[in-house]
Amino acid sequence: MTGALRKIIHVDMDAFYASVEQRDDPHLRGQPLAVAWGGKRSVVLTASYEARPYGVRSAMPLYRALERCPGLRVVEPRFDAYREVSRQIRAVFHTYTALVEPLSLDEAYLDVSDPRTGGPSATRIAQAIKAQIRAHTGLNATAGVSVNKFLAKLASGMNKPDGLTVILPAQVHDLLAALPVEDFHGIGPATAAKLAGMGIRTGADLRATPERTLHARFGVLGSHFWRIAHGIDDRPVEPDRPHKSVGTEETYADDLTTVHAVQSRLPTLASGVERRLERAGLAARTVVLKLRYDDRSVVTRRVTLPAPVNGAGDLERAAASLLTPELLAGRTVRLAGITAMGLTPAGTPTTQPRLFTVPSDTNAD
């Protein structure tokens, strides 16, 4: 490897939804717990560490989880609570670096090669982050520290819960040689089966395979496998994952048959979009109104604004400008949605747009 080594931390909250539920309800503490929606087809979103020895896992049908663990407690998810914790942990991350790449509500990569504070040791920073997450949220996180994203994530997976694992460059060779290919992040069961068919079962096998062979079979992903088997991963920590669009939609049990009825839903839809834009720190140049009718046909109309907007009022006005009587003529609306596109980082508060470009129609089935 050339140049200075980077310092990357991967942070992942432990049994995230379940830990939040146990924190907020003392009766659930120490209990095998699954978080799942009610209903027959329900699947486990996550399980507390007390439930895991029974074999209860994320994405397992709930009935199977209950077969495996008859004493399993089950609660429904509370996404507002999880989002709040997510906001708190991101604030902790940002005290150390602007280079934070969230992967989900409970997981992020941080590049602390040049931290704002906390000194040069990435391990110390990871310890401090775990302690601050604990202090601010009452929850445990697991961290992995290494020289790239792949190795940092591998490290955090090695010792859960409440773990802190460091993979030093000198350890990489032996560690990866022994690793089964399915434990490489990005190699799923289907790819692992194909690799097995080529006689490739471990990191050592991957490494012994010419890159061009892997590329011929799996394309650019194949090259990526070869590189990570050598511990090489130059992917940067990308703080602003480009979102293409942000939207909210609602389905109605009682069909909407008038412009007025649809209009009355726009404030709620616009608020939903505003919340999402705010969370992502984005503003939108293009606003799309989508309607689905009782015959399942869909109409979208869009308007591009002279300046990006992110406030619910502006989003609602833009959507309302697209809602014309002929959209409702003799038809009933089952679903309405507002989508924001043409996203840019939100700057100073945006003002109400005054000039609309000519709206264009798109009709689709």
Q: Which residues are catalytic?
A: 107
Could you tell me the two tokens for 165? 């694992």
Pick the binder of ligand TTP from 10, 14, 274, 302 (CB under 6 A). Answer: 14
Angle in degrees, CA 275, 276, 282, rounded to 5: 105
Interface with ligand TTP in residues 22-61 (CB under 6 A): 45-46, 58-59
Q: How far apart are CA 340 and CA 282, in angstroms?
A: 10
Angle in degrees, CA 223, 226, 231, rounded to 5: 125
**DSSP string for 263-293:** HTTHHHHHHHHHHHHHHHTEEEEEEEEEEEE
Query: Whole-number minimum distance, CB 363 to ligand TTP, in Å?
Result: 35
Pick the binder of Mg ion from 9, 13, 89, 143 (CB under 5 A). Answer: 13
Pick the binder of ligand TTP from 8, 11, 12, 130 (CB under 6 A). Answer: 12
Using DSSP's 3-state secondary structure scheme, residue 308 falls into: strand
Give just the sign of the alpha carbon dihedral 278, 280, 284, 289.
Answer: negative
Whether the CB-CB separation of 44 and 63 falls below 8 Å is answered with no
From ligand TTP, Mg ion, none, which one binds at residue 161 (CB under 5 to 8 Å depending on kind)? ligand TTP
Buried b (16+ CB within 10 A) or exposed e, 118-135: beeebeebbebbbebbee
> Is residue 15 a contact residue for ligand TTP (CB under 6 A)?
yes
> Is residue 21 a contact residue for ligand TTP (CB under 6 A)?
no
Compare residues 11 and 172 and give the one whose CB is closer to ligand TTP: 11
Contact region with ligand TTP (CB under 6 A), list: 102-110, 122-130, 192-200, 352-360: 102-110
Query: Whole-number minimum distance, CB 121 to Mg ion, in Å?
Result: 24
Query: Whole-number minimum distance, CB 34 to ligand TTP, in Å?
Result: 10
> Is residue 16 a contact residue for ligand TTP (CB under 6 A)?
yes
> Is residue 16 a contact residue for Mg ion (CB under 5 A)?
yes
Pick the binder of ligand TTP from 21, 50, 107, 233 (CB under 6 A). Answer: 107
DSSP code of 350? P
Q: Count residues contacting Mg ion (CB under 5 A)?
A: 4
Compare residues 16 and 184 and give the one whose CB is closer to ligand TTP: 16
Binding track, positions 335-364, relative to ligand TTP; x by CB under 6 A: ------------------------------
Could you tell me the two tokens for 192? 């692992």
From Mg ion, ligand TTP, none, which one binds at residue 17 (CB under 5 to 8 Å depending on kind)? ligand TTP
Beta 333-345 vs 164-166: how paired, if at all?
unpaired
Pick the binder of ligand TTP from 50, 106, 111, 233 (CB under 6 A). Answer: 106
Whether the CB-CB separation of 360 and 302 falls below 8 Å is answered with yes
From ligand TTP, Mg ion, none, which one binds at residue 225 (CB under 5 to 8 Å depending on kind)? none
Q: How far apart are CA 225 and CA 227, in angstroms?
A: 5
Pick the binder of Mg ion from 21, 50, 101, 106 (CB under 5 A). Answer: 106
Binding track, positions 144-183, relative to ligand TTP; x by CB under 6 A: ----------------xx----------------------
Of 73, 65, 86, the residue nearest 20 (C-alpha) = 86
Q: 248 to each of 20, 173, 210, 288, how far by Cα in Å? A: 26, 47, 47, 11
Interface with Mg ion in residues 304-343 (CB under 5 A): none
Could you tell me the two tokens for 188? 């799923």
Enumerate binding residues for ligand TTP (CB under 6 A).
Answer: 12-17, 45-46, 58-59, 104, 106-107, 160-161
